[in-house]
Structure 1
Amino acid sequence: MIDNGRRFFACSSMHYLLPIIAMANFAAGLSTRAMDPVLPQVSAQLLVSIPAVATLASATAISFAFIQLPLGAIADLFGKPRLILTCLVILGLANIAGAFATSFEWLLVSRIVCGIGAGGVFPVAMGLVGDIFGIDKRQVAMSRILAGATAGNLLGATYAGVLGDFAGWRGVLSSIGIVVLLASIAVAWGFRSQMASKGKAVDIAVIAGNYRRILKHPYARICYGGVFIEGICVMGLFPFIAAFLQELGEPRLSIAGLVIAGFALGGLLYAASVARLLPIFKERGLIALGGAIAASQIVVIAFGPSWPAQFASCMVMGWGFFLIHGSFQVLISEIAPEARAGALSLQAFCFFCGQFTGPLIYGLGLLYAGKIPTLFAAAALLLVIGPICSWLLGQYSSKSGSKTTN
């Protein structure tokens, strides 16, 4: 049975849509980490302390996370391309507004709005890809979208650092705002036919019913739990990388940033390799494989090798992580085809909850147990969660006769 979204695209030429969606995610990704390298400039110009200025990044991340549930549900009714376009316009204008900020409070509000705008792009775009591509081609297509977002995250901080030396933080925000608005024009053109179609009325009862249907599906408990745990084990580690390197006598923050950037490169490696791996391992096999790969690299970092080795380890860890994460995304996209954006937005929410929780758990472990026991425990949890999720998914698939996984 073809759901409403796919019924529209089944009659459309689709070859140009994937690059347009990837472009939208790249533009949103650019904005996410743009403030990190220019925080000292903001601190000096707006006369605010560095710890206070650092809340700009937290404000963006928190608003991104908590906007997922309402925006994902609204996208399924309002129309995914229409919502992506709206959020890109909001994101672009918020960046430009932030460039003209005369107070820290003004800038803080603009970054909160940026988080809201970015939050309506990536998860909803994944739902849109699910509408366009069948299950057999979906993971490869989603990997291309992920590559766009990862490249934006990877280049955003680098771009901001280079341009910040010449044009300052205001130039960074205004230029990124322009890039995002240009991406919105591409989305408006690429999906111009669907923009003209009438969306459904936003009904709270329908939204609540969709979420109830999503959460009742057996895949939901497995996949959302797995995403939460991978957020804790993998993303919770990164705030401590700089401290680990300092223990080894490497105080340069630029090196810490470079090591962490290896993780994003692993995302690009995933996008390049998943088409070859998928026919061999299928989604369930990739979940188990990715967990083992990521867990092994947490063990490597626990032993404290040199920073080039940790850079390589983070890249391999990123590859393993995205093998898990991408497979969960594909499976979640089939939970409720008529509420696909809601299902994927709920995944993003669970992942960010894990990302928030992870540093707290790691911090307590490092304080009371030490580095090696804490990282070994995280690696062990990640190592077993992959096969457990894979087995549970297989059990449900066997009982239901589902052809989603093999």
Structure 2
Amino acid sequence: MATFSSMAIQRICDPMLPELSRIFNAPIGDVAQVVSMFAITYGLMQLVFGPIGDRWGKYKVVMLATLGCSIGCVLSSLSEGLDFLVMARVGTAVSAAAIIPLSMAWVGDQVHYEHRQETLARVGLGTMLGITAGQLFGGLLTDTLGWRWSFGMMAVLFCAVSVMLWRHAKRIEAPSEPYVPTHGFFGQLLQVARDPWARTLLSIALLEGASVFGMLAVTASHLHNTHQISLTLAGGTTALFGFGGMLYMATAKYTIRRFGEIGLARYGGGTLGLSFLVIAFTPWWPLAIPACFFAGFGFAMFHNTMQAKATQMVPTARGTSVTLFAGALFLGQSLGVLVLAKLMAYAQSAHVMAWDALGVTALAWYFGYALIHRNASQADHV
């Protein structure tokens, strides 16, 4: 519920931008700050919450962060001007940034590695649902009751989640050997940065965010411009990416046991790349419907494996590791959207998407290769 709420509040403003532009009598570019400033703050705060979670307790920080998000949503709903709304969104982002990465890190502390990927998949189901729900309810409530009710609903939801976390806190078992950080704030960041395997995973996460989410951001525009379908239909087709990810989360127990980590990385990346090649070159746009769905399924196979490895790359600084992983992924998303949008001004969108699809496939296979060598080196060490 916490990860669902965190992802929903990220996406809830996307469909309400035209209405906010009308209400505040401001250009859409200025109103878009409620999205862009949230994103920038969310990314920067990843550097802060990792060491805080390692030192003060990940579960406790997540619990307090949900309460902070509730306060931020209340302030957003009471905004009388655009500047106040932007600042309220920034305040919400400060708290929201802690929830998903520290939840993943907490799972890493609590769940043995052989069951961790399956557990992370369950947590990821909340994240995937949050993407869809945020956009759906942001638009629905704005069209019916008004944009303020969207933030009011989220304020109630965050408050309820905070209470649920507080009620469960006393029943949560601490790790059998709790780790007390011996490094300072920057020392924990350096501890992760000095680890070669951590640098490899963070680099892959950066490229993954750029290639996958950059391509996803331009898919609707490609379908609209190439096949002359409506933006609503193009956006709805692209949204099936999220439902494909949800199917993986629901079948993760079987899929993980069937393919293993290396198979999940390679076959997931291959499925993702092939699906986007179909979207890029299909002469019949309805083929993009199953392609978007299977692209989401393939991405979830690949990314869920990355998440599991991120929780284990530096166990003595797990909160810092996972938040840096999230920060690298988030930075990659921003860079990917910018680069692919620029490239499409000079080349056909199908060709840009095709090269990107081949790139993400190669990245997934390289990750599988890196896993083989990592496992072999650990076995030799033992």
Q: How would you bin the TM-score normalised by the shorter chain?
A: over 0.9
Q: CA deviation at 1:194?
A: 6.1
How far apart in 1 are the matches of 2:341 and 2:55? Answer: 41
CA 327–196 in structure 1, closer or farther in 2 if over 3 Å, else same:
closer
1:260 corresponding residue in structure 2: 238
Residue 164 (structure 1) aligned with residue 164 (structure 2): no
| AA partner of residue 373 (structure 2) | Q
Contact 1:301 1:313 (8 Å CA) reproduced: yes
**What secondary structure is seen at the aligned counterpart in 2 of 1:401?**
helix
Residue 389 (structure 1) aligned with residue 367 (structure 2): yes
1:173 corresponding residue in structure 2: 151
1:17 corresponding residue in structure 2: none
Q: CA deviation at 1:403?
A: 10
How far apart in 2 are the matches of 1:181 and 1:306? Answer: 47
2:129 corresponding residue in structure 1: 151
Q: CA deviation at 1:222?
A: 2.4
How far apart in 2 are the matches of 1:163 and 1:337? Answer: 43
How far apart in 1 are the matches of 2:123 and 2:262? Answer: 21
**What secondary structure is seen at the aligned counterpart in 1 of 2:145?**
helix
Residue 309 (structure 1) aligned with residue 287 (structure 2): yes
Contact 1:235 1:358 (8 Å CA) reproduced: yes
Residue 235 (structure 1) aligned with residue 213 (structure 2): yes
2:296 corresponding residue in structure 1: 318
Shifted more, 155-164 versus 251-260: the winner is 251-260
| AA partner of residue 139 (structure 2) | G
How far apart in 1 are the matches of 2:160 and 2:108? Answer: 24
Shifted more, 304-313 versus 292-301: the winner is 304-313
Q: How many residues align?
A: 380
Q: CA RMSD in A?
A: 2.4
2:84 corresponding residue in structure 1: 106
CA offsets per residue over residues 355-387 of structure 1, 9 Å max, x none?
011122212332333223322211111111112
Contact 1:188 1:195 (8 Å CA) reproduced: no
Shifted more, 274-283 versus 250-259: the winner is 250-259
Q: CA deviation at 1:399?
A: 1.7
How far apart in 2 are the matches of 1:156 and 1:387? Answer: 33
Q: CA deviation at 1:308?
A: 3.8
Residue 135 (structure 1) aligned with residue 113 (structure 2): yes
| AA partner of residue 153 (structure 2) | S
1:286 corresponding residue in structure 2: 264
Q: CA deviation at 1:344?
A: 0.8
CA 400–142 in structure 1, closer or farther in 2 if over 3 Å, else same:
same
| AA partner of residue 388 (structure 1) | Y
Q: CA deviation at 1:215?
A: 2.6
CA offsets per residue over residues 9-60 of structure 1, 9 Å max, x none?
xxxxxxxxxxxxxx11112222111112222221122111222112211111
Q: CA deviation at 1:303?
A: 1.0
2:198 corresponding residue in structure 1: 220
Structure 1 residue ranges (4+ consecutive) displaced by more than 4 angstroms after TM superposition: 193-197, 199-203, 304-307
CA offsets per residue over residues 212-253 of structure 1, 9 Å max, x none?
232333321322121111111110023322321222354533
Instruction: Please list every run of 5 or more consecutive structure 1 residues that lacks an aligned counterpart in the other structure.
Output: 1-22
How far apart in 2 are the matches of 1:70 and 1:149? Answer: 21
Shifted more, 362-371 versus 89-98: the winner is 362-371
CA 383–202 in structure 1, closer or farther in 2 if over 3 Å, else same:
closer
Work out which of the residue numbers 175, 192, 197 in structure 1 matches 2:170. 192
CA 155–165 in structure 1, closer or farther in 2 if over 3 Å, else same:
same
Identical-residue share of aligned pairs (%): 26
TM, length-normalised to structure 1: 0.88
